[in-house]
Structure formats: C-alpha cells, structure tokens
Amino acid sequence: RKEVEQDPGPFNVPEGATVAFNCTYSNSASQSFFWYRQDCRKEPKLLMSVYSSGNEDGRFTAQLNRASQYISLLIRDSKLSDSATYLCVVNMGNYYGQNFVFGPGTRLSVLP
C-alpha cells in the first residue's frame, strides 16, 4: 500500500461545479496535512493546511478524519483558473523538518 493515495483522476468539470478530492494516508502517527496545487511546469504552491476541526478558505474547504486516515478537499464554484494538479501532502515525521510524503496528485481541468 502506498503511504499517501489520492483519487486517480483526471477530473473534468464545467465552470461553477463543485468538485471533491480524496486522500488517504497509511501512518496513523502523521502529524500535519496539507493541500498543494501545482500548475504545469511550475513549483507546488501551498493551497491550505488541513486542521483537525476542518477549515475553509473562500471556495475551498478541507477536512481531516484521523480515525479513517482520510483528508478531503472541496472546491465550490470552480473557476477556469482552478485547473491544476492537486497534491495531498502528509508529514509523517514526529521530529523536526522531515518526512513530507506526497500523494501522486489529482489533475483537475475546469472547462468553459
């Protein structure tokens, strides 16, 4: 089993749609969780950290379920500019600055 798994994608959705991405992780001792977006031929950029109580940033909502070792990202009212690859990242270390594990990514295309 891979350490971090994501929906295989790609997701092709019309503008204005709501889309949800799922991510599961294998290490129950994982400490912190993040969603990054990556545009073609660019570096990954932090979209949002994921907190235990769930958190929202505008059209984006992230949820964490530690019992099920599951993270989700919901995008409402999709824009063309949301087209990117979304990477689930889990910090599986319990000591300083190590062991960020990346999921394989899910590609989203928002269509006009």
Closer residue to another protein, CB minimum distance, 18 or 94: 94
CA atoms in the 13 A half-sphere facing the CB of 105:
13
CA distance 103 to 24: 9
User: Which two structure tokens, joined as six digits, stand for 17?
Assistant: 């749609």
Tell me how far apart the alpha carbons of residues 85 and 9 are, in angstroms, rounded to a whole number.
10
Binding part of the chain for another protein, among 14-22, 62-70, 73-81, 101-109 by CB under 8 A, reads 101-109
Q: How many CB atoms lie within 10 A of CB 55?
A: 14
CB of 88 to another protein, least distance (A): 9
C-alpha 98: how far from chain center:
19
Is residue 9 within the footprint of another protein (CB under 8 A)? Answer: no
Nearest CB to another protein, comparing residues 17 and 102 = 102
Residue window 49-88: x/- pattern of binding to another protein, with contact defined by CB under 8 A: x-------------------------------------x-
Binding positions for another protein, rule: CB under 8 A: 31-32, 34, 41-46, 49, 87, 89, 91, 93-100, 102-105
